């Protein structure tokens, strides 16, 4: 494994500025991300997990720090090319105008790639959506269907790093498991790195090798998943696990 992405002392200012100094939503976030790797991002609501992922995808601008993709700073890369390699999939999927098929085709076209129809069909099947009418207007899809189409749209770009924001949150448990399996296979076969925000600790334990725990305005713990769930190194980490699983074994 080699480091594909490095984040150095990353910080994002908070909108809710205090009276005196500028406050930060998160600061001093540093990590090396290997290729391929599976990372889950966990932590209480409002810790900035989504904002961190959006910043890593350059949908937000860092206020401090640097990010290096294959050793090159984001400041020296064209943001369009950065976003093609480091792809963010939002929790609230936004569909482009037109049909499901238009959505699948347009994203590849916008990023200058060719549309892989065979792969699209395979991914739809794996995501338990093979029965879906691809001529249907995308705006008429359910929340869970939109979420899966948004994910497939991104996979079709074959990014090196996938940043997933609670992508199974709107799905029933069977569809959620199908998407999990699809992502595990994708990671294995495509060698893609997956960084996944989830509030489902069992899902984090099932699908990641490394866990990032966000708390106290920073990336407080960055450990192997098995180590984090067995023995968080910080008091905040221990409290978080204790509160959420209340003695349940993961
Ligand atoms: N610069 C900023 N960018 C984004 N959110 C900000 C910023 N400054 C303050 N906030 C606030 O901080 C919180 C950050 O939200 P974010 O969605 O990133 O956290 P989260 O850990 O992913 O939460 P959740 O688990 O509930 O999705 C929000 O309440 C938002 O209003």
Q: What is the pLDDT of residues 18-46, one digit of tens each?
A: 555 679 999 999 999 999 999 999 999 99
Q: What is the mean pLDDT of residues 156-175?
A: 94
Residue 124, pLDDT score? 97
Reported as a pLDDT band with limits 50, 70 and 90, residue 111 is confident
Report whether residue 61 contacts ligand 1, using a CB cutoff of 6 Å: no
Per-residue pLDDT at 250: 43
Burial class (CB in 10 A: 0-12, 13-18, 19+), 109: exposed
**CA distance linking residue 56 with residue 10, whole number of Å:** 9
Kind plus residue range of the DSSP H or E element containing 67: strand 64-69
d(CA 101, CA 109): 12
Q: What secondary structure letter does DSSP report for 96?
A: P
68-102, pLDDT tens digit by residue?
999 999 999 999 999 999 999 999 999 999 999 99
> What is the rounded distance in angstroms from the CA atom of residue 173 to the CA atom of residue 2?
34
Q: Atom 4, ligand 1: which residue's CA is nearest?
A: 51
Instruction: Tell me how far apart the terminal alpha carbons of the chain are, to the nearest angstrom.
Output: 27
H-state helical runs in the chain: 49-56, 79-85, 100-110, 117-126, 143-155, 173-190, 201-207, 225-230, 235-245
Q: Is the CB of 42 under 6 A from ligand 1?
A: no
Q: From CA 24, how far away is CA 12, in angstroms rounded? A: 6
Compute the radius of gyration of the chain from its Cα atoms. Answer: 18
Q: What percent of the chain has a predicted confidence (pLDDT) above 70?
A: 95
Compute the distance from residue 92 Cα to the ligand 1 centre, in Å: 14
Distances (CA, A) of 54 to 63, 134, 190, 249: 13, 29, 23, 32
Domain boundaries, the chain: 37-47+78-245
Q: Please report the pLDDT score of residue 113 as a whole number.
A: 78
Q: Is the pTM of this model over 0.90?
A: yes
Model confidence at 114, pLDDT cuts 50, 70, 90, reads: confident
CATH class of 37-47+78-245: alpha beta
Query: 109: pLDDT confidence band, cut at 50, 70 and 90?
Result: confident
Q: Which residues pair with 29 in a beta bridge?
A: 10
Contact 173, 182 (CB under 8 A): no
pLDDT at 2: 67
Backbone dihedral region for residue 143 (phi beyond 0: left; psi -120 to 50: alpha; all else: beta): alpha
Token readout for 163 is 């940043």
The residue whose two tokens read 């995808």 is: 57
Count of CB atoms situated within 10 Å of the CB of 173:
8
Mean of per-residue pLDDT scores for the chain = 93
Show the tokens assigned to 140. Answer: 């008429």
Distance 47 CA to ligand 1 centre (A): 6
Q: What is the pLDDT of residue 17?
A: 62
Q: CB neighbours (10 Å) of residue 75? A: 9
Q: How far is the CA of 194 from the centre of ligand 1 (A)?
A: 21
Query: Would you say the CB of residue 46 lies under 6 angstroms from ligand 1?
Result: yes
Rounded to an integer, what distance in angstroms lies between the CA atom of residue 154 and that of residue 45? 25
**Which residues fall within 8 angstroms of residue 34, CB to CB, at 6 or more apart?**
1, 2, 3, 4, 193
């Amino acid at each position: 494994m080699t480091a594909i992405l490095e984040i150095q002392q990353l910080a994002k200012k908070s909108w809710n500025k205090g009276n005196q100094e500028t406050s930060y939503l998160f600061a001093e976030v540093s990590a090396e991300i290997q290729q391929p790797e599976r990372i889950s991002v966990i932590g209480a609501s409002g810790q900035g997990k989504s904002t961190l992922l959006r910043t890593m995808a350059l949908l937000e601008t860092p206020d401090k720090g640097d990010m290096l993709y294959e050793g090159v700073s984001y400041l020296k890369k064209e943001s369009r090319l950065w976003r093609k390699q480091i792809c963010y999939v939002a929790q609230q999927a936004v569909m482009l105008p037109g049909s499901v098929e238009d959505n699948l085709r347009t994203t590849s076209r916008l990023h200058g790639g060719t549309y892989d129809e065979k792969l699209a069909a395979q991914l739809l099947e794996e995501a338990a959506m093979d029965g879906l009418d691809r001529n249907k207007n995308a705006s008429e899809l359910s929340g869970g269907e939109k979420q899966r189409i948004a994910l497939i749209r991104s996979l079709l770009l074959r990014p090196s790093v996938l940043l997933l924001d609670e992508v199974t949150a709107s799905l029933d448990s069977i569809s959620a498991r199908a998407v999990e399996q699809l992502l595990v296979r994708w990671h294995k076969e495509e060698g893609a790195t997956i960084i996944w925000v989830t509030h489902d600790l069992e899902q984090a334990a099932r699908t990641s090798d490394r866990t990032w725990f966000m708390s106290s305005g920073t990336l407080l713990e960055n450990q192997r998943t098995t180590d984090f769930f067995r023995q968080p190194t910080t008091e905040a980490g221990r409290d978080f696990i204790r509160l959420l699983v209340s003695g349940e074994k993961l």
